[in-house]
Amino acid sequence: MLDQTIRLYTAEQVRGLDQCAIEGHGIPGMELMENAGRFTFELARDRYPSAEKYLVLCGGGNNGGDGYVVARLALEAGLQATVCALKEPAGLHGDAATAAARWLEAGGEVLAWPMVDSLRFDLVFDALLGTGLDREPAGSYGEAVDFINSCGKPVIAVDIPSGLNADSGVAMGKAVRAQHSATFIGRKRGLYTADGPDHAGKVMFSDLQTPQSVADSEPDYGILVQESLIRKKLPRRQRNSHKGSFGWVLAVGGNHGMSGAVRLAGEAALRSGAGKVTVATRTDHAPLVNVACPELMVRGVDTGEQLNSLVGEVSVIVTGTGLGQSAWSGAMLKYCVASGRPLVIDADGLNLLAGDFQGTCLPPSVLTPHPAEAARLLGLSSRDVQADRVGAAKALAHRYQAMAVLKGCGTVVADPSGRYAICPYGNPGMATAGSGDVLAGVIAAMVAQGLDLWDASLVGVLAHALAGDLAASRVGERGLIASDITSQLPLVLNPR
């Protein structure tokens, strides 16, 4: 059975999980709130053991109720806890009102917003707004968000940073930037993509001691990609193997002035375990492409017919890397599509698909757009794509009946059935020319080694991200280049 800690949900689905726990399993809502507050308090003690003065900012809903529990537990543990409420306790309802009453009964006090300037604290808890927000925090709540972000103290967000959209990961005008986020019942997918990672910090999850059947009550979940996937999908190789055992990748691209892109894709495929790689490129580039990587086979192709003679025996074709959008480019893509071989289509291959190749019926394919390319494929703006990255990836997969890999912070993988996954790894140093070419080569190598397109996309995205993180740990994020990522691929694809 799938471990529930790697499932991803929308805010509405998490509300369904809450309802299932309370109504379907008879778990009192107050018990869930106490568990959430205790998990957050224990996180604070573990990560900030020297902090003795807690400031808890509480809103008017259940998120605020969680905050009251945190404050009470801190008080009971002998710490100094201050609650600043943006809604008077008398105006609260349900479990939040009960949590506030217990705080007051324990001897706690409630300060009204705005607070006095002389207040001193070591650690801040954001229990303002929770997952229900769909617009920019305004009024006193907006002021409180600004205060949290400017206070200079570490911040723990309760369930989700206030101002962050739980579904899209978009910061709605202003949002809390936390060092840690304690999230409950179900992981909100917005914590892991778009602005989510910058605002949530390190995400810690608790199912609040609910049974597995609660998680199973919402079947249409996404998946958070885990490092263990590499070992699971790429088992130890048999000693009795040869290069043909691990597939043949054909990389097609490298128009005038862009030979480096297709070479990056080809070398990444080799470094990712493909048995052999042939690069088909402009004839005048052919003598140069494999100078630094002699393991690549290179063929000069000036016509589609010349390319056609290469496609018959290969396992997979990766194209679009440095392909350009000329007549030659169109001829190359036409014969790649006509080959019927599995395709990984990147860069200008996607631009052609959005233009002259609109409506083309693709063979089994993986599309790897960045947001601007995805926007062209969907007839949207880049802003629209970034406003709903999961929705955009699912729309791409459905429209083109292909795997969609929407690159960016929290890369999203989606298939035509609506299944989706988010990769939580990677870093800003990977936002560099050629990084996408490397990714395309890695995914192609996974297909060549026998993985289906879904698994090839997940493992390829994961390996690329982990290699980027390893490269950044060695050379730093600023100045990292695509070949730095390639050099680390064997290390992440052969885990000890």
pLDDT the model gives residue 312: 87
Which positions ≥6 away from 78 have C-beta within 8 Å? none
- The CATH number that applies at residue 451 is 3.40.1190.20
* Domain match, 235 and 219 both: no
Write the single-letter amino acid at 14. V
The pLDDT of residue 4: 43
pLDDT of residue 240: 96
pLDDT at residue 163 in the model = 97
pLDDT recorded at residue 365: 98
Residues 196 and 55 in one domain: yes
Structural domain that includes position 475? 228-493
pLDDT at 402: 98
- Residue 253 shares a structural domain with residue 155: no
Q: What is the CATH number of the domain that holds 76?
A: 3.40.50.10260
Shared-domain flag, residues 88 and 161: yes
Report how far residue 459's alpha carbon sits from residue 443's, in angstroms, rounded to the nearest whole number: 8
The residue out of 171, 192, 223 marking a domain boundary is: 223
- In this structure, the answer to whether residues 180 and 283 fall within a common structural domain is no
Q: Judge if 179 and 289 occupy the same domain.
A: no
Q: Are residues 382 and 445 in the same domain?
A: yes
- The pLDDT of residue 41: 98
Check whether residue 438 and residue 361 sit in a common domain: yes
What is the pLDDT, as a whole number, of residue 134?
A: 83
Number of domains in the chain: 2
Whether residues 24 and 42 share a domain: the answer is yes
212 lies in the same domain as 352: no
Which pTM value belongs to this model?
Answer: 0.96
* pLDDT tens for the 496 residues of the chain, in order: 344 459 999 999 999 999 999 999 999 999 999 999 999 999 999 999 999 999 999 999 999 999 999 999 999 999 999 999 999 999 999 999 999 999 999 999 999 999 877 789 999 999 999 998 888 999 999 999 999 999 999 999 999 999 999 999 999 999 999 999 999 999 999 999 999 999 999 999 999 999 999 999 999 999 999 999 999 999 899 999 999 999 999 999 999 999 999 999 999 999 999 999 999 999 999 999 989 899 999 999 999 999 999 998 999 999 999 999 999 999 999 999 999 999 999 999 999 999 999 999 999 999 999 999 999 999 999 999 999 999 999 999 999 999 999 999 999 999 999 999 999 999 999 999 999 999 999 999 999 999 999 999 999 999 999 999 999 999 999 999 999 999 999 999 998 8
Could you count the other beta carbons within 10 Å of the beta carbon of residue 245? 12
User: According to the model, what pLDDT value does residue 355 have?
Assistant: 95
pLDDT at 1: 36
Q: Are 186 and 219 in the same domain?
A: yes
- Give the Cα separation of 350 and 368 in Å (integer): 8
* Statement to judge: residues 265 and 163 lie in one domain: no
Decide which of 223, 250, 284 is a domain's last residue: 223
Q: Which of 155, 189, 223 is the last residue of a domain?
A: 223
